[in-house]
Amino acid sequence: MSKSGYNFIGRLTHRLALQSKAVAEISLDIENATIKGKEKTFPDNHVFISGLARSGTTILLQHLHNTGLFRSLTYRDMPFVLMPNTWKKISRQKPHVEYKVRAHNDGIMVNPDSPEEFEEIFWRVFCSKDYILKDRLLLHGLDGDVLEKFKNYIKNILISAETENQTRYLSKNNNNVLRFGYLQKAFPASHIIIPFRDPLQQAISLLNQHIHFSKIQQEDKFTLDYMNWLGHFEFGLNQKPFFFNDKEIFRGMQDYPKTDINFWLLNWKNYYQYVNQNHTTNTIFFNHDKFCNDPSSEIARLFEKLNIGTPAIPLEPFNPPAKTINGFDKNLLEVCISIYKKLESKGN
């Protein structure tokens, strides 16, 4: 078994399904040609979670998914995620598997039925040349054909749902910040949730994950390939910062090695300064720190905003201990804290 957790057959299957864009495109064509229920319609009040990594996106995704009202892509949909109905028949779904700690080694437990960030595969297959560069990820436009193809893809995912209650699509995709306006155009009644967190604590977490995944990827190239196929560029050897046309911030990040806490503080500033100024009307800012202090109240408030009738399950506070680090730019941190307070005011 490789460090990635996939044996030889598993790795070969993932290479076949994900490495070749042609194979991925053909898989979507097969799905569209064979799927039943093409005339079925769904409301467009979907939910897109999209924050900077390490802001609590996965925990939020799991809580919403557990309501049973949403269909999300899960590990069972891998590796042929563009043909969810067809792959479901071919793969002969295996029985329940026990939970295990995910690769981040951060205490979050997952199993094959857990939702995960696989939606970006669609965008990488059809739009990679427009936004994935060697050293950055760009804001990118979408033509009508691609947007219509995406809408149909979401419809296919919903048709593959396990229960009739799963009529809304739910995704976690940090890269969706590159296309917020198009998501709202495609699904006017949808919501985009942007979690945010104390900037220094989030920067420390990003730095630690960068070191962690860089080590894993150096020891196992398949893991690096896998992250590239999924469009995961948050940290590790393939880390690519977002470029929001702010050359000053981007040059600042280039001045620091990615093992320096100030690179990750600038990364935080880059992301949250942009979303503070450029969010869409359907955006909900979600304070992860408040959620940790009073999860039941914060989830209940979020459910109300999303028109979720299912009562939130009572949750115990889970305040993680604050981490410390030396060498950060105090002035930079003050700027980040100022942005944090602006986001906090929008989240109330």
Query: How big is the chain, counted in residues?
Result: 348
In this predicted structure, what is the pLDDT of residue 313? 78
Per DSSP, the three-state class of 283 is strand
* Residues forming beta bridges with residue 137, ordered by sequence position: 132, 242
* Residues forming beta bridges with residue 196, ordered by sequence position: 287
Alpha carbon distance 65, 62 (integer Å): 5
CATH number, position 261: 3.40.50
Domain membership flag for residue 213:
yes
Residue whose C-alpha is closest to residue 31's, from 96, 122, 163: 122
Is residue 166 within 8 A of residue 71, CB to CB? The reply is yes
Per DSSP, the three-state class of 265 is helix
Q: What's the DSSP call for residue 63?
A: H
Compute the radius of gyration of the chain from its Cα atoms: 20
β-pairing verdict for 47-49 and 137-138: unpaired
Contacts of 141 (CB under 8 A, 6+ apart): 130, 182
> Domain total for the chain?
1
Range of the domain at 58: 8-347
Per DSSP, the three-state class of 248 is helix
251's tokens: 């040059």
In this predicted structure, what is the pLDDT of residue 66? 93
pTM over 0.85: yes
In this predicted structure, what is the pLDDT of residue 1? 32
Looking from the CA of 175 toward its CB, the CA atoms found within 13 Å total: 26
Residue whose C-alpha is closest to residue 225's, from 328, 79, 334: 79
Domain membership flag for residue 1:
no
Count of helices and strands (H, E) across the chain: 14, 9
Which helix or strand (DSSP H or E) is residue 158 part of?
helix 144-159
Using omega within 30 degrees of 0 as the cis cutoff, is the peptide bond preceding 43 cis?
no
Domain membership flag for residue 279:
yes
Domain membership flag for residue 2:
no
Domain membership flag for residue 232:
yes
β-pairing verdict for 100-101 and 109-110: antiparallel
Residue 19, Cβ density class (10 Å: 0-12 exposed, 13-18 middle, ≥19 buried): middle
Which helix or strand (DSSP H or E) is residue 130 part of?
helix 120-131
Domain membership flag for residue 161:
yes
Parts of the chain with a pLDDT under 70 = 1-5, 92-99, 101-103, 105-108, 312, 348
Domain membership flag for residue 244:
yes
Alpha carbon distance 341, 244 (integer Å): 21
Domain membership flag for residue 252:
yes
Is residue 239 within 8 A of residue 135, CB to CB? The reply is no
